[in-house]
Structure 1
Amino acid sequence: MGGITGLIASTLPILVLVPINNYYGLTPALLAALGVAVVIFIWRAARKESLQPAFNALFGVVIGAVVAWLTGDARGYFLYGIWVSLLLFVVAMISIVVRWPLVGVVWKGLNGEDMSWRSVPAARRAYAVATAGWAVVFIARFIVQNALYNDEATGALAAARILMGWPLTGLVLILTIWMVRRANAAVDKNGAEAHEH
């Protein structure tokens, strides 16, 4: 997730955007947010750290800035994230319904492992619980932030974006790790039982 510098990369542009927009207007605010994201990217590159978190943050800032510029409103900066949250909720729920829980697919895919866990009901259930945890976070972000967007509460929207970002992600990561361990244990148990027979 990028650790502390990943946290900085995702929150500093938002912390810069809102006050500069309030005092100097939209264009300086967007330029400042983009500038901060670029500086963080260069800083991570100079320190030879992983660029993925900084790149993700920079990509998000660019998309947010483009939408805000097109809408002519600083609130537009948050639209991309709001609607991506709804999309991710829908994808997560569909993955559970069709018995391909997204957490299992992503976790095993990132580790270059096969999808044989799907034939173990206990493992599939564990991954479904983890996926449901992410789905709850995604829909909560959408509901709260979309309501604040519609209320034109830009400052509160920025605060919600930060508060519903890392803290909620941290909680659902704990759930995910717990469920991944349960899924792995179920797969190992199933393999041992199959070997005995």
Structure 2
Amino acid sequence: MSTAEEAAPPPPVSAHETVEAVVRAQIAKAFGGKRGTVEAAVPTIAFTLTWIFTEDLKFSVILSVALSVVLLLARIVQRSTPQFVLNSLFGIGIGAFFALRSGNAEDAFLPGMLWIAVVEALMILSILVRWPFLGFLLGATNPDDPIAWHRDKSIVDLCVKLSWIMALPGLIKLSVQIPLYLAGSDYVFWLGIAKVALGWPVYLAALATVGWMLARGRTAQPTT
């Protein structure tokens, strides 16, 4: 055996042997766990409750933004990733701009609804053309051939099913929030309730369904 052959490193071993294991790991990473869930919900709850008790739009906005900043500082002090707080802070900031500009409290929820609508449209389009968005989670784990998953019909079929499940929460949320938004400021309380109750809890239910489906399957990963 030559010296070069002896020095050659062993081939990389995937930490996940099946498609189901990869998708489980990638989805868990994307949603930020329990802390990410709380960080996303707290500013919305604060805005909604403050508006209900004070009907002071400016104060409600300032309080929700301030809470987001406190959560961000806590992340920085603890030297943990601020990604999910920054996402929440960005959303709150855009909502605050819309609400303060129009003077209508319900407009604080409009940017989030528009964002969900755009994301849902892209998600459904990806499913209909059979390039389901969850398939790209698999592609991210295979930089040498990121579309290898798409050449395997069984993997595409699996990702289509899972993608429909993950698209449902946004569709449900919009179907409830749009009528409440159109009803005006008298329904800001219910808009806030809908945003929180139909946000992470519904996504977690979808994840639980996906997890159950993944736990039952053993689809081999594609190879290059």
- Give the TM-score category using the shorter length: 0.7 to 0.9
Aligned-residue offset at 1:112: 4.7
Partner of 1:84: 115
Aligned-residue offset at 1:54: 0.8
Query: What whole-Å deviation, never above 9, does each CA across 1:59-116 have from its counterpart, x for those lacking one?
Result: 11111111111221111111111122221221111101111101111x1244354221
State TM-score, norm by structure 2.
Answer: 0.77
Partner of 1:14: 44
**SS of residue matched to 1:102:** coil
CA contact (8 A) 1:127 1:180 kept: no
Q: 1:53 aligns with which of 84, 87, 112?
A: 84
State TM-score, norm by structure 1.
Answer: 0.86
Q: 1:142 aligns with which of 159, 174, 181?
A: 174
Q: 1:125 aligns with which of 152, 157, 170?
A: 157
Runs of 4+ in structure 1 displaced over 6 angstroms? none
Instruction: Name the CA distance, whole Å, in 2 between partners of 1:46 and 1:3.
Output: 19
Query: Which protein has the bigger helix share?
Result: 1
Aligned-residue offset at 1:49: 1.7
Partner of 1:194: none
Instruction: Name the CA distance, whole Å, in 2 between partners of 1:117 and 1:181.
Output: 19
CA contact (8 A) 1:2 1:50 kept: no
Q: Which moved more, 1:42-51 or 1:29-38?
A: 42-51
Q: 1:171 aligns with which of 194, 201, 205?
A: 205
Partner of 2:74: 43
Q: How many residues align?
A: 188
Partner of 1:5: 35
Gaps of 5+ in 2: 1-30
Q: Which moved more, 1:2-11 or 1:128-137?
A: 2-11
- If asked which structure has higher relative contact order (CA below 8 Å, sep 6+), I would say 2
Instruction: Name the CA distance, whole Å, in 2 between partners of 1:142 and 1:27.
Output: 26
Instruction: Name the CA distance, whole Å, in 2 between partners of 1:181 and 1:144.
Output: 31
Instruction: Name the CA distance, whole Å, in 1 between partners of 2:33 and 2:131.
Output: 29
Aligned-residue offset at 1:177: 4.0
Q: CA RMSD in A?
A: 2.0
Partner of 1:73: 104
Instruction: Name the CA distance, whole Å, in 1 between partners of 2:49 and 2:208.
Output: 33
Aligned-residue offset at 1:139: 1.2
